[in-house]
């Protein structure tokens, strides 16, 4: 009987009627050696039906036991297969089938044991597959009558190929794939009827195994290369994929991944074939599986790159997919594909504005991944733009005006008819800008126009035109420039059809460049907003783009971006800080600068640092100082090398020609910042500070700041302290006086003597005035008194802290803790005595407390004098608690009654510092601080906002109902105040996840009662606050809280606004349940159209958010109750039933609806949120005062108004005495 190839190798062990059946029991009793010995001499008996029980069964047993054989035995089995293949009779179909059966069985069995079997992994698989292919090559094509044998052989080979590919190690092997492609080619040539079965088998395997996708694409590619006539098999396979139902792919994600990977890989290898069948595959773009859509998008990108064509309709398909696909993964994949196309430099120049428009619009996408790749697309567009390395808008506008002086770029864009070959992308509301320039080009009938466009990229043609013009000018001195020549030609030509094609080309070029630049600039604000995103990815991508934008000289970015990234240096997240430091390292030392001369490189870096510091606010200067510290700390210190520091000192000294005062002042600031990391650089330049900095009124303040970086007590001879004293006597800048006092206490070994003598000299000078005392002189004296009092207290507390530390160490070693407690008590008494003595009326400083008090309360005094008196009084109050308590009411009266904004501004800032120093004293007065948020002066409002921000975030005052004043600041006309208010609530939400949830209900109620607050303003504030609640449970809990407030609402406006708040919440199934359970609370309000609309919106939004099917009935019932409640009054029965159905709940739920829940008093107390050290540092950054370093230090009023450096900062401990001690130490 002829041998029939079974479907599976093991099928021969099953009972059947053939003589080729294998008996497993007999095989298990035979040893491997005995089985191998049967084939030592002759293998032909294996083909005989009479002897199959010996040789046939033996070889079957060896293959099934292959996994357990030794390496040498496995090699022996492979040799037997080779002998069997060589011994076949080509005219005998049985011998052929037997040989293929065993060879295929060994190939599959052995593949399953790799890679553990080194022999098979390295050589065995390839040798065996080559044996199979050689056997196939020797087989003649059977006659058409032997269809059964052909089916068996073809089916066996296809199964074997796919079974081998099921193992990843085999699928990854290049040689294995090459032989399998040859085997598949032979099968298709051997039997033409195998095309459909082979396609079906391949598709089935592709659906089952994800790792087969890439190897199969490679095999089909090689198949098409081996035999061009078999390319139709690949095309048919692509069509089979196109016929797959999208519902199946949506359900089976594994199959979808395989299909997507396969078409992506195949498009890279057989682009023409994929393009020929693309129309069928594109049907899956409307399918449910986003994974398959991703694969198609990738394929489209490869086809565009493989065969660039400006008129390719696939460009528009890809644009639409990036804009309109409902799944974020597909939109992000489309953006990635566009990035690849841009990097491949195959984008038509006219498409650059459209791509920029798409990128800027996708920056506002809800998905982080889409925003990430949108930013990367804009970055790629800048890097690969055809308009040159400089994208200065003014340059291109000047060029455009030369070519078309009477044609505005925007009007030129609007006047052009749309291009029929391009459809709109984006949201469909605006026509694409590239259509205009293409139509202009098409209006010319001259063949040379099309040649110019087709031969070379457009920017190369423009450069060629300009080069020809320059060459012409070199050859003939009388020749005019190309722009002038083309301009004159343009004026002479009146018929558009006769317009010079080169002019058309240049118009197209400059129009596209301007549209591209303007479109990119539109997205800058969104990128700036991304810098404040909670997502690290958003921040990183925005920073990367802005660096490239600065390098390409985008004028809208150059000045702003460098500064707007500075706060990232102080970000909480370490990775964001690292990103920012790397960004500034790239900006300060761009690629290629390290190859320049060391002096030139140092000068460039120094100038970049100075440019960064000029005009910086106090907060920005703090960021720059942290940046310099981070550059040294994170291995970027080579940027600020010794040569750079030397250039900065030269600039400070005025030794660099052309250096102005602002540059010298900034250089002084920078050398002081560098000294914090490299103290020796300042130690070696003390003489420069003495001779240049301190003596110059323009540089004195920052020179004193730099002196504070020197070692303590370094001024042994007193020369530097004497110069600092002269600065205090002569300077009209209050901030300079404070810095000079700080410097004296830093460098002088005995600062008390220096400031004591100076205080007497200043007092004597004032008393010696024959007439009225100058207000500036008296202001200087009061500022000096107050600041010396604080610094002296700091010095005393530092000494006492050292004493405490010594006592603790001594007690630890001796074990006598009683002595430690006694010593600490004595230290406390010493500190209290020192505090009392400093403000004692008989002391050198305290005697001027009464003077400060009188001048501070005198509204008729000059603003500078009254403000200085307030400043002095506040500092004296910081020294002792009793003195503070005695004068606290006066300070609040000054805040409320002072006519000058400068005085109120200083008063509110001083009260903020007193709240840190003595929180229990100031806390009852906190409502008066909140009231300053409504001050008419924006400077007072800003200082109040910053003070409250600092106090609340550091838990110095409770978040009470007055916080509504902070919320209203979001609507302030001053954008800086509005931004600070938003920053406060962002920080509050970060600090405690439930902080916004706790304050929102009261904030909503308070705003609803404000008659001067518009509806739009209310919605703006509430929408912002609700957006900060990122937890689902908060939205659900807020539903119940707001529903209860319907019962106590007193006006239609309050009711409408409560309903609006519910409509913008993100409600889950739990929130929907709360809305249904509390229906009775708002059912009587549904007669109001606005309330009805908002509640309906909330319910319908729940339905759209994919709530489970079990809740669909609940939604429908709630909607029906809402509609019945809206029914006319005569439909009382329906309304009664609606209310009854709501109240028919379990007893506990009914109680919850009928009576608003009230927590015990202790539980309803507002939560005081704790603040870590890092958070305090971030809050300090929020509290930083803006001060322009370009401003003149001689303006005493302005300096006094802006600076807040005098205020002591205490710890956040609740214990009052410990806070007082730590507050002084922190100075």
DSSP string covering 927-986: HHHHHGGG-SSHHHHHHHHHHHHHHHHTTSS---TTHHHHHHGGG-SSHHHHHHHHHHHH
Residues 6+ apart with CB under 8 A from 765: 729, 777
Structure-token match 């038509």, residue found: 348
pLDDT of residue 1071: 83
Calculate the dihedral angle through the C-alpha atoms of 137, 139, 140, 145, rounding to the nearest 10 degrees: -130
Other residues' Cβ atoms within 10 Å of the Cβ of residue 193: 13
pLDDT at 175 > cutoff 80: yes
Structural tokens at position 546 = 């802005």
What value does the mean pLDDT take over residues 78-106? 75
| pTM above threshold 0.85 | no
Question: Could you report the per-residue pLDDT of 693-705, keeping only the tens digit for each?
Answer: 888 888 899 999 9
Q: Which of 1107, 1133, 1134, 1103 lies closest to 1121 in space, CA to CA?
A: 1134
Return the residue matching tokens 């108004």.
1201
What is the spatial distance between Cα 816 and Cα 806, in angstroms, rounded to a whole number? 13
Angle between helices 661-675 and 642-653 (to 10 degrees): 140
Q: What is the pLDDT of residues 664-674, one digit of tens each?
A: 999 999 999 99
The DSSP result for 150-208, as a single string, is: HHHHHHHHHHHHHHHHTSHHHHT-HHHHHHHHHHHHHHHHH-GGGHHHHHHHHHHHHHH
Q: How confident is the model at residue 263 (pLDDT cuts 50, 70, 90)?
A: very high
Q: What tens digit of pLDDT does each residue of 1020-1071 get?
A: 999 999 988 878 888 888 988 999 999 888 888 999 999 999 999 888 888 8
pLDDT at residue 141, rounded to an integer? 52
Q: Say which range, 133-137, 991-995, 1110-1114, 1141-1145, has the weakest mean pLDDT.
A: 1141-1145
Q: How confident is the model at residue 65 (pLDDT cuts 50, 70, 90)?
A: confident
What six digits make up the tokens of 516?
């591209």
Q: Tell me how far the alpha carbon of residue 953 is from its chain's centroid.
A: 25
C-beta separation of 1187 from 1203 below 8 A? yes
Which position has the higher pLDDT, 441 or 1070? 1070
Rounded to an integer, what is the distance from CA 678 to the centroid of its chain?
33
Range with the lowest mean pLDDT among 65-69, 567-571, 680-684, 796-800? Answer: 65-69
pLDDT of residue 91: 60
Tell me how far apart the alpha carbons of residues 198 and 215 are, in angstroms, rounded to a whole number. 16
Q: How many CA atoms lie within 13 A of 1010 on its CB side?
A: 18
Identify whether 559 is preceded by a cis peptide bond (ω within 30 of 0): no
CA distance 614 to 214: 57
pLDDT score at 452:
31
Mean pLDDT of 215-220: 92
Structure tokens at 419: 């291009």
Q: Where are the domains of the chain?
A: 1-150, 334-524
Angle between helices 501-522 and 368-383 (to 10 degrees): 140
Return all residues near 607 (Cβ < 8 A) that are at least 6 apart: none
Backbone angles phi, psi at 834, to 5 degrees: -65, -45
Q: What are 912's two structure tokens?
A: 């903020």
SS3 label, residue 406: coil
* Higher per-residue confidence, 834 vs 1222: 834
Nearest to 325 by CA among 287, 351, 355: 287
Q: Does the pLDDT value for residue 563 go beyond 70?
A: yes
Query: Most confidently modeled of 571-580, 675-684, 900-909?
Result: 900-909
Is 54 a residue whose pLDDT tops 60? Answer: yes
- ω before 722 within 30° of 0 (cis)? no
Instruction: With CA atoms as reference, report the closest residue to 901 among 1206, 1198, 1184, 1208.
Output: 1198
Tens-digit pLDDT profile for residues 801-852: 888 888 777 777 766 666 777 777 888 888 889 889 999 998 888 999 999 9
**b/e per residue 990-1005 (b: at least 16 CB within 10 A):** ebbeebbbebbbbbbb
pLDDT tens figures, 449-504:
333 333 344 444 444 434 443 443 344 433 333 344 334 444 444 444 556 788 88
What are the structure tokens assigned to 187, written together? 């099968």
**Residues 207/197, Cβ–Cβ less than 8 Å:** no
The pLDDT of residue 16: 63
Q: In this structure, what are the phi and psi dihedrals at residue 688, rounded to the nearest 5 degrees? A: -70, -40
In this structure, are residues 139 and 93 in contact, taking their beta carbons and an 8 Å threshold? no
Q: Write out the H or E segment, with its range, that includes residue 1084.
A: none
Compute CA distances 173 → 116, 198, 204, 257, 792, whole Å: 15, 22, 22, 21, 80
C-alpha dist (Å) from residue 1036 to 11, 125, 1115: 62, 62, 15
Whether residue 721 is predicted with pLDDT greater than 80 in this model: the reply is yes
**Does residue 592 register a pLDDT over 70?**
no
């Amino acid at each position: 009987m002829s041998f029939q190839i079974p479907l599976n190798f093991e099928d021969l062990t099953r009972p059947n009627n053939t003589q080729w059946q294998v008996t497993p029991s007999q095989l298990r009793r035979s040893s491997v050696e005995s089985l191998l010995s049967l084939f030592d001499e002759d293998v032909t008996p294996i083909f005989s039906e009479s002897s199959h029980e010996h040789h046939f069964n033996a070889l079957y047993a060896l293959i099934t036991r292959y996994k357990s054989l030794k390496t040498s035995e496995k090699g022996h089995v492979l040799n037997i297969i080779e002998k069997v293949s060589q011994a076949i009779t080509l005219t005998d179909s049985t011998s052929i089938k037997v040989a293929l059966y065993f060879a295929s069985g060994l190939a599959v069995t052995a593949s399953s044991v790799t890679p553990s079997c080194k022999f098979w992994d390295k050589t065995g698989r390839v040798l065996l597959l080559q044996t199979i292919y050689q056997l196939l090559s020797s087989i003649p094509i059977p006659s058409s009558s032997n269809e059964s044998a052909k089916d068996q052989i073809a089916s066996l080979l296809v199964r074997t190929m796919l079974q081998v590919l099921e193992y990843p190690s085999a699928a990854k092997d290049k040689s294995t794939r090459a032989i399998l492609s040859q085997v598949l080619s032979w099968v298709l040539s051997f039997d033409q009827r195998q095309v459909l079965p082979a396609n079906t088998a391949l598709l089935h395997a592709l659906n089952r195994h994800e790792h087969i996708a890439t190897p199969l694409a490679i095999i089909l590619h090689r198949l098409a290369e081996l035999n061009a006539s078999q390319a139709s098999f690949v095309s048919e396979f692509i069509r089979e994929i196109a016929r797959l139902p999208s519902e199946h792919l949506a359900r089976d994600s594994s199959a979808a991944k395989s299909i997507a990977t396969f078409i992506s890989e195949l498009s890279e290898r057989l682009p023409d074939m994929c393009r020929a069948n693309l129309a069928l595959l594109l049907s899956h773009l409307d399918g449910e599986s986003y994974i398959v859509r991703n694969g198609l998008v990738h394929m489209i990108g490869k086809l565009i790159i493989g065969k660039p064509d400006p008129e390719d309709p696939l460009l528009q398909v890809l644009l639409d997919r990036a804009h309109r696909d409902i799944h974020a993964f597909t939109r992000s994949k489309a953006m990635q594909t566009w990035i690849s196309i841009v990097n491949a430099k195959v984008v038509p120049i006219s498409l650059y504005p459209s791509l920029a428009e798409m990128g800027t619009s996708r920056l506002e996408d809800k998905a982080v991944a889409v925003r990430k790749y949108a930013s990367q697309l804009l970055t790629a567009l800048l890097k690969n733009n055809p308009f040159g390395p400089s994208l200065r808008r003014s340059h291109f506008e000047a060029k455009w005006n030369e070519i078309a002086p009477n044609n505005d770029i925007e009007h030129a864009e609007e006047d052009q008819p749309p291009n029929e070959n391009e459809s709109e992308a984006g949201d469909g509301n605006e026509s694409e800008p590239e259509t205009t320039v293409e139509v202009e080009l098409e209006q010319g009938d001259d063949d040379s126009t099309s040649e110019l466009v087709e031969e070379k990229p457009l920017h190369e043609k423009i450069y060629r035109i300009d080069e020809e013009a320059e060459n012409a000018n070199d050859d003939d001195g009388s020749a005019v420039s190309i722009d002038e020549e083309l301009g004159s030609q343009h004026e002479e030509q009146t018929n558009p059809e006769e317009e010079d094609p080169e002019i058309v080309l240049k118009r197209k070029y400059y129009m596209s460049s301007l549209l591209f630049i303007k479109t990119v600039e539109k997205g800058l604000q969104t990128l700036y907003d991304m810098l404040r995103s909670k997502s690290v990815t958003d921040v990183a991508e925005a920073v990367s783009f802005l660096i490239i934008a600065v390098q390409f000289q985008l004028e809208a970015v150059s000045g702003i971006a460098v500064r707007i990234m500075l706060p990232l240096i102080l970000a909480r997240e370490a990775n964001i800080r690292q990103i920012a430091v790397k960004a500034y390292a790239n900006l300060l030392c761009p690629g290629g600068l390290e190859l320049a001369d060391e002096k030139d490189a140092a000068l460039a870096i120094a100038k970049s640092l100075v440019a960064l510091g000029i005009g910086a606010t106090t907060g920005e200067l703090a960021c720059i100082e942290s940046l310099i510290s981070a550059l040294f700390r994170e291995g970027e210190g080579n940027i600020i090398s010794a040569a750079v520091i030397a250039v900065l000192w030269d600039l400070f000294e005025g030794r660099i020609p052309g250096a102005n005062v602002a540059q010298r002042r900034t250089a002084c600031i920078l050398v002081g910042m560098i000294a914090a990391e490299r103290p020796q650089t300042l130690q070696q330049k003390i003489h420069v500070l003495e001779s240049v900095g301190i003596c110059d009124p323009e540089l004195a303040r920052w020179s004193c700041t730099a002196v504070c970086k020197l070692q303590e007590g370094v001024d042994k001879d007193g020369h530097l302290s004497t110069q600092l004293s002269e600065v205090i006597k002569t300077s009209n800048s209050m901030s300079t006086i404070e810095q000079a006092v700080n410097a004296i206490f830093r460098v002088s070994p005995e600062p008390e003597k220096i400031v004591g003598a100076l205080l007497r000299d200043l007092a004597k000078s004032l008393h010696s005035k024959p007439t009225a005392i100058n207000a500036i002189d008296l202001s200087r004296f009061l500022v000096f008194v107050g600041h010396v009092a604080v610094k002296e207290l700091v010095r005393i507390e530092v000494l006492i802290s050292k004493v405490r530390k010594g006592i603790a160490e001594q007690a630890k070693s001796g074990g006598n803790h009683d002595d430690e407690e006694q010593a600490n008590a004595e230290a406390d008494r010493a500190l209290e005595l020192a505090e009392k003595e400093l403000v004692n009326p008989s002391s050198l400083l305290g005697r001027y407390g009464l003077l400060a008090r009188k001048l501070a309360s005198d509204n008729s005094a000059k603003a500078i004098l009254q403000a200085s008196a307030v400043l002095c009084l506040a500092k004296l109050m910081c020294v002792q608690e009793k003195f503070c308590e005695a004068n606290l009411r006066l300070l609040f009266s000054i805040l409320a009654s002072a006519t000058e904004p400068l005085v109120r501004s200083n008063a509110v800032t001083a009260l903020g510092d007193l709240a840190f120093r003595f929180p229990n004293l100031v806390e009852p007065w906190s409502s008066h601080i909140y009231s300053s948020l409504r001050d008419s002066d924006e400077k007072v409002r800003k200082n109040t906002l910053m003070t409250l921000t600092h106090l609340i975030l550091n838990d110095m005052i409770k978040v009470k109902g007055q916080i509504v004043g902070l919320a209203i600041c979001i609507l302030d006309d001053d954008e800086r105040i509005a931004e600070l208010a938003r920053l406060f609530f962002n920080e509050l939400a970060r600090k405690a996840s439930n902080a916004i949830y706790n304050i929102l209900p009261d904030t909503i109620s308070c705003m609803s009662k404000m008659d001067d607050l518009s509806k739009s303003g209310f919605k703006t504030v509430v929408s912002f606050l609700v957006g900060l609640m990122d937890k689902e449970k908060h939205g659900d809990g807020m539903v119940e809280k707001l529903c209860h407030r319907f019962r106590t609402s007193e006006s239609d406006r309050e009711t409408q606004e409560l309903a609006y708040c519910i409509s913008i919440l993100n409600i889950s199934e739990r929130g929907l349940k709360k809305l249904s359970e509390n229906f009775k609370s708002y059912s009587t309000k549904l007669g109001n159209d606005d309330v009805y609309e908002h509640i309906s919106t909330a319910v319908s939004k729940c339905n759209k958010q994919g709530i489970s099917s079990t809740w669909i009935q609940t939604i429908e019932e709630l909607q029906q109750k809402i509609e019945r409640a809206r029914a006319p009054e005569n439909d009382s029965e329906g309304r009664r039933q609606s209310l009854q159905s709501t109240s028919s709940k379990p007893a506990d739920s009914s109680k919850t609806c009928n009576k608003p829940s009230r927590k015990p008093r202790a539980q309803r107390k507002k939560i005081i949120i704790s603040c870590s050290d890092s958070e305090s540092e971030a809050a300090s950054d929020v509290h930083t005062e803006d001060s322009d370093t370009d401003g003149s230090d001689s303006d005493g009023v302005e300096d006094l108004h802006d600076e807040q450096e005098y205020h002591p900062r205490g710890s956040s401990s609740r214990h009052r005495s410990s806070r007082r001690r730590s507050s002084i130490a922190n100075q």
